[in-house]
Amino acid sequence: MALAALQVKRVFFEPGALDYQLGKEMYSRLKSEGQEICFLKSHNRVTSIPGKTPRESFFQGKSTLVVGVRKTLDFATCKPSAHYQLPLVTGCQGICEYCYLNTQLGKKPYTRVYINIDEILAQAGKYIQERQPEKTVFEAAATSDPIPAEPYSGALAKAIDFFALQEYGYLKFVSKFPNIDSLLDLDHRGHTRIRFSINTERIIQTHEHRTPGLQERIKALSRLMEHGYPGGVIIAPVILEGDWKKEYSDMLNKLSDELKGNNRDIHFEVISHRFTRRARNTILEVFPDTSLPMAEDESRTYKYGQFGYGKYVYNKELLQEMSILFTEMIGRHFPEAKIDYII
C-alpha cells in the first residue's frame, strides 16, 4: 500500500513561519487534520521531542514535523550528484536502518519543511547566473526525501516550474515514495530529472521500514517518464550477501518490464553498502537486532573518504563482481541509459 503523506504525531512551527502565506496555509491544513501544533520560542531549537532512550528518541523524532524559515541561503555543494543542494526539506519519513542521515540529523531526526520557497529559489537563480553559460544542477534530496511533504508545501512543484524557465539551471531529486500525481502535468521542459531509490524486495522488507515496495516505486518512475520527465534510478545500498546476484538481476528484470520501451532518458547510480564505526554504533542503538552486514571481516576494506573520515567498504574483488553484474545487466536492459557511477 502506498504511503500517502507525512506520518507525524506532533508539529512545531518556528518563529516567523506564519509571516509567510504558505506557513499560514500549512497551519490551517494541519490544524484541520487534528495535528498537535506547538510554537517554538527560537529558530532551530527543537527541545520538546520526547524520548529517554536512543531508540525511543529516534522514533519520536521520525514522527515530528517542523515548519520553519530557511535562514542560511548559502547552499552546500553536492558532489557527485550536482553542483549545489537545494534546501527545501530536511529529514525523511522513511525508516531505513542503514541511512547516513541517522548520523547527520541528530538523535531525534525530525523532518523540517522550509516555507520561504521563493527566497530559496531566488538564491538558486543567483547561483545559476554566476555560472552561466555553464549549466548548474541542484539536488533537492541531499538530506531528505521531499515527496512526503509535497502535499503540504508544494515546494517541488514550485521548484520544477522555476527550473523550467532557467536556460542554464537544472533540478534533480530522488525518492522512495510514489505520491507524484501533483507533478505529472507540470510543464517541466526536461529541466527536472526525477530518480527513484530502489533495492531488492528482501532488502526493502528487511531494512527499509515505513517505505513502499519495489513495484510501487518503479511504477511511479514509469508514470513520470511517460510524462516526459528525464528519469533515474539509484540502487543503494547494494548489499553483497546471500544470493545477491540473482536478487539484483530479478530487480532489474522487474524494472525493465515496468518501463518497457519508455526508458530512453534514464540514468543509473549504483552504490555499494558501506559503514563507519560511528554509524554502526548509532544503528545498533536504534536497531539492536539488525541483520545489516557490519562486521570488520575479510569482505571489507577500510578506506578514507573525501570528507576525511574512514569507512568500511567491500573489498576490491567483491566490488569488481558488483560492477561487472550491473554493467552487463543495465547494458542489456537499458542500452541507451547512462551509468553515472558504480561505487
pLDDT at 47: 84
Dihedral over alpha carbons 258, 260, 262, 268 (to 10 degrees): 70
Q: Which three cell numbers stand for residue 143?
A: 538530506
Residue with cell 528525464: 230
3-state secondary structure of 78: strand
Q: What's CA 207's distance to the chain center, in Å?
A: 16
The dihedral through the CA atoms of 312, 314, 320, 325 has a sign that is: negative
The dihedral through the CA atoms of 271, 279, 75, 185 has a sign that is: positive
pLDDT at 89: 96
pLDDT at 104: 75
Cβ-count burial of 38 within 10 angstroms (0-12 exposed, 13-18 middle, 19+ buried)? exposed
Q: Which three cell numbers stand for residue 263?
A: 526508458
Total H helices, total E strands in the chain: 10, 17
The tens place of each residue's pLDDT in the chain, 343 residues long, gives: 334 457 889 999 999 999 999 999 999 999 999 998 999 988 778 888 999 999 999 999 999 999 999 999 999 999 888 999 999 999 999 999 999 777 777 789 999 999 999 999 999 999 999 999 999 999 999 999 999 999 999 999 999 999 999 999 999 999 999 999 999 999 999 999 999 999 999 999 999 999 999 999 999 999 999 999 999 999 999 999 999 999 999 999 999 999 987 777 999 999 999 999 999 999 999 999 999 999 999 999 999 866 667 899 999 999 999 999 999 999 999 999 999 999 9
Pairing of strands 208-209, 136-139: unpaired
CB atoms within 10 A of CB 130: 9
The b-or-e profile of 54-75 (16+ CB within 10 A means b, else e) is beebbbbbbbbbbbbbbeeeeb
pLDDT at 305: 66
Cβ-count burial of 103 within 10 angstroms (0-12 exposed, 13-18 middle, 19+ buried)? middle
Q: How far is residue 202 from each of residues 112, 214, 291, 320, measured CA to CA in Å?
A: 30, 10, 12, 23
pLDDT at 2: 38
Pairwise CA distance, residues 87 & 236, whole Å: 22
pLDDT at 101: 75
Q: How far is residue 287 from each of residues 52, 154, 283, 305, measured CA to CA in Å?
A: 16, 33, 6, 25
pLDDT at 307: 60
Q: Which three cell numbers stand for residue 183?
A: 507533478
| Residues contacting 239, CB < 8 A, separation 6+ | 203, 273, 292, 293
Q: Which three cell numbers stand for residue 335?
A: 542500452
Pairwise CA distance, residues 14 & 243, whole Å: 48
Residue spans of alpha helices (H) in 138-243: 150-153, 155-164, 201-207, 214-226
Which domains are assigned to the chain? 7-175 (3.40.50.12110), 184-343 (3.80.30.30)
Residue with cell 506520518: 7
